């Protein structure tokens, strides 16, 4: 599942492919926003952790990855 995280005062968003379920990611984000945790901690498919301070979260977008188009063709 693709997760996009917007961080306040950062010019780019963080994009990662997570093996976690959408419900699990939503629960972790809700806990961070509710103040139960000071950090939003997510793990990508390669085992790397992404830590974002909860008070700096602008938005979190959850969705399936879009298949990438390869080659030359009419769009």
pLDDT 10s digits, 11-36: 999 999 988 888 999 999 999 999 89
* Prediction pTM value: 0.78
Look at residue 67 and tell me whether its pLDDT is greater than 70. no
Smallest Cα–Cα separation from 13: which of 43, 50, 41, 38? Answer: 50
pLDDT of residue 24: 92
pLDDT of residue 49: 93
Pull the structure tokens for residue 73.
């063709």
Strand partners, 44: 18
pLDDT of residue 64: 78
pLDDT of residue 68: 66
Pull the structure tokens for residue 41.
């901690």
Look at residue 73 and tell me whether its pLDDT is greater than 70. no
């Amino acid at each position: 599942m693709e997760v996009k995280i917007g961080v306040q005062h950062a010019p780019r968003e963080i994009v990662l492919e997570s093996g976690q379920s959408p419900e699990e990611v939503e629960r972790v984000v809700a806990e961070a926003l509710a103040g139960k945790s000071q950090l939003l901690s997510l793990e990508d498919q390669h085992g790397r952790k992404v830590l974002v301070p909860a008070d700096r979260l602008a938005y979190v977008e959850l969705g399936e990855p879009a298949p990438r188009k390869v080659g030359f063709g009419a769009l």
